[in-house]
Amino acid sequence: MSDLVIVFPLYPGVTHLDFTGPQQVLCRVPGAKIIVASMGGADIEADGLTFTNLADLATVEACDVICVPGGFGTSAAMLDEAFMSHIKRLAGGAKYLTSVCTGSLILAATGLLKGKRATCHWAWKDQLKPFGVIVTEGRVVRDGNIITGGGVTAGLDFAFTMVAELAGDALAQSLQLGLEYSPAPPFNSGTPDTAPPEILAAVTAMMAGAMGDRQGAAEEAARRLQSNGLNAT
């Protein structure tokens, strides 16, 4: 395998595990060239870590896989026309369109997920609907060449799924063993269905502040698609 270009486009407010988890796995695929890029190659701060030496997104000519991470900066990213122009350009020519967590909202804002099945973090899934996405449950959801991971930690499940797709099950299983990926969480509270009611209520309340802004951003991004002649609904 050679010349397999995988691009992770970063933006302010990205969640670093959304891309560092998949990057750690995918960088071990033979022949893979991983490009982590931002607008102008600017440093990106994410939850106290600063990512530097990034490629300029505008200079990335094409890729085989685009993987869009999520984060609380999703709302602004969806409405950043310069950033979105590069996402649309790269996604339009990529063999695989992929995302982790709320990165699927950014992908959806290109118009390329209309009528397709995709997933997102549990708290934000409904915000895919203005783009005509068929919201689907699952840690990893595939619809043709569109492969989306759920919230944050689902990025690892997504990454091993991608390795199997790109290089076969044997390599995916070998990397899983080499990285000792054998999840055994100390609590069974990782989904709304399994979390204690009081924990679910507290986390939902914590996220409520961003809910309106992100819903508004999703609706505005969908409106822009419609005004540009790309019907999102």
What amino acid positions are annotated as catalytic residues? 101
Segment holding 7, helix H or strand E: strand 4-9
Q: Which amino acid type is present at position 25?
A: V
Q: What is d(CA 114, CA 92) in angstroms, rounded to the nearest whole number? A: 14
Q: In this structure, which amino acid lies at residue 6?
A: I
Rg from Cα positions in the chain: 17
Distances (CA, A) of 69 to 36, 154, 155, 229: 11, 11, 9, 26
Give the separation between CA 123 and CA 71, rounded to whole angstroms. 12
Other C-beta atoms closer than 10 Å to the C-beta of 85 total 13
Look at residues 62, 57, 70 and name the one whose alpha carbon lies nearest to residue 148.
Answer: 70
What is the sign, positive or negative, of the torsion defined by CA atoms of 14, 67, 162, 30?
negative
On whether the CB atoms of residues 92 and 62 are closer than 8 A, the answer is no
